[in-house]
Chains A and B, each alone.
Chain A
Amino acid sequence: MATTDVLESAAPEPEAEFTSIEAGLDALETAATTRKPWWRRVLLAKVLPPVVTIVALLLIWDLLVFAQIKPAWVLPGPADVWDEITANWSQYQITQAIWDSVSRGIFGFAISVVVGTVLGLSIARIPWIRAGIQPILSGLQSLPSVAWVPIGIMWFGVTSATIYTVVLLGAIPSVTIGLLDGVDQIPPIYTRVGHNLGARGVSAARHVLFPAVLPGYVSGLKQGWAFSWRSLMAAELIAVSPHLGPGVGQAMAEAGDNNDMAMAFGVLIIILIIGIGINAVFFAPIERRLLRSRGLIKS
């Protein structure tokens, strides 16, 4: 009898028992997350690998030049390019060209975002219209935007209108398609839960649809930027005119006309740096943050 008594008094209350099991399970099932210090995450993981790669590429480039597989005017070395760019920076109006091109790119991209978003929102929920428009958008996306340049010039002459036409036709499809993909990828259960919680109309759009669409939309924007930048370069390269003012593409065309291989290489690198830079400074952090907060990528 005594042993039974001891056992009973030692047995915890049912509720106390399940709460302590629960606490134990919670502790076991949530892994301790220790975040590395920022300099290790950013410098070592994000900055160092590309820097090392670039240095390696420059070395290979220099080795090829050193081996003299091609004459120097066909394949200039990194040092030649650097010298040419610094010496002729003002002659090619590079500062002004970068400023003009970047502002054109950003302005064209901004218009594309507005138009592409409105277009995407208005066709997303109407299956019949969407089925008609989406294949055309996909086709436009695969059409090299440089193909629009001659048509643009015939329509508008060598003017800003031509350049923006080419940029918009390049970027709008990406933005719209990104948005449509985002809408398609909303798990149906979110809409149902939203409805059950009482979200209707505007509140459903604000609290459920918009945040659910966001990752697809942001990747559409990112691609839209890439498309507007490369369309802009294509347009600038062909549409050269004094009253358009300088641009990076025009600088490239000028280098070509002058048979200035080192400068052409230099401008190419500038175009790359701007494209990569805007993505790295603007889109990549937004996208990374978005995905990390939803547990879609590891932090």
Chain B
Amino acid sequence: MTVTATVGDALEAVEPAAVRLTGVTKSFGKGGVPVLDGIDLSVAPGEFVCLLGASGCGKSTLLNLIAGLDPASSGTIELPGTGSRPGHAALMFQESALFPWLTAGRNVELALKLRGVRDRGERRAEAQRLLGLVRLGGAYDKRVHELSGGMRQRVALARSLAQQADVLLMDEPFAALDAITRDVLHDELVKLWSETGLTVIFVTHNVREAARLGQRVILLSSRPGRIAREWRVDIPQPRRIEDAAVTDLTRKITAELHKEISRHGNN
């Protein structure tokens, strides 16, 4: 334990990280085939990283490990953090997973309450402000089923922000939305990210989405999941999904992704 801690501290002095994975392996069941194998990954504070891969590359598993919902089989996961909740990462899913027995506003309030905001008036005002950030100030008293898919994801985003974590983990959050709504939410997310300085790890199987959003795109191979390649993306934000540079990058990454996938058909 002491050794790991010292190594961690030493590394941190060299290169500050919001999330650092060292040799992370995950297999389910005893002696099972590893889903993730030897993942080393360091994400800088405020960085926007996209994890990309085909089915079975363990990208969702990786997020669950970082979020602390599952334990890693081996390796270390650190979330040093500098904010009010070090070690904590907020998590968003493909489905909004808002609680249907609460209104939109109350869903956000619950996150505040569980974070330890005692005063009700303060919670209400803060939830109202966060909904305002995602332009849903008027939806406070709406029930979840009265909101569209895109609006639900924005409420879920507000709820994640309420957690005041340094790191936001997003597991294909826009995969179930129509293309028009997804475009708009890309703009929304990039705007929030640049305003809040959040560290974002965004999992997707949509190459164009990764190229549109990420400062760094990491391609995972499948079975077992390993880091196959990574690209630094210097195209400045706000980008547009139809930008020529985004399209170029999409083409390059897709070619690599296809190579990765084809490997599995040959044996």
Using a CB–CB cutoff of 8 Å, the interface residues on chain A facing chain B are: 14-15, 18-19, 21-23, 25-26, 29-30, 33, 189-190, 192-193, 195-199, 203, 207-208, 211-212, 214, 293-295
Instruction: Count residues of chain B with CB under 8 A from any CB of chain A.
Output: 39
Shortest distance in angstroms between A87's beta carbon and chain B's nearest beta carbon?
52
B262 CB within 8 Å of chain A = no
- Determine the chain A residues whose CB is within 8 A of the CB of B67 once the complex forms: 196
A208 close to B99 (CB less than 8 A): yes
Contacts of B146 in A (CB 8 A): 30, 33, 295
What residues of chain B lie closer than 8 Å to A15, measured between beta carbons? 187, 191, 238
Nearest A residue to B93 via CB reads A189
Question: Please, how many angstroms separate the alpha-carbon atoms of A68 and B81 in the complex?
Answer: 88
Flag the segment in B3-11, B36-44, B109-117, B253-261 that touches A. Answer: B109-117
Residue interface mask B90-111, A partner, CB < 8 A = 1: 1101010101111000000011
A residues within 8 A CB of B251?
A: none
Report chain B residues within 8 Å CB of A22.
135, 150, 184, 188
Q: Is the CB of B99 within 8 A of A195?
A: no
The answer on a CB contact under 8 Å between B135 and A190 is no
CB within 8 A of A25: which of B69, B114, B150, B240? B150
Given A30-B151, A295-B146, residue A197 in contact with residue B181 (CB < 8 A): no
Bound: A58/B191 CA distance, A: 68
Kindly state the separation between the CA atoms of A29 and B135 in the bound complex, as whole angstroms: 15
A190–B148 Cα gap in the complex (Å)?
19
Contact A195 B69 (CB under 8 A): yes
Starting from the known contacts A197-B111, A207-B110, 8 additional A-B residue pairs (CB-CB under 8 Å) come to A14-B240, A25-B181, A26-B150, A189-B93, A197-B163, A208-B99, A294-B145, A295-B144
Q: Determine whether B180 belongs to the interface, using a CB cutoff of 8 Å to chain A.
A: yes
Residues of B within 8 A of A190 (CB): 97, 99
Given the interface contacts A15-B187, A22-B135, A203-B114, does A295 sit within 8 Å of B145 by beta carbon?
Answer: yes
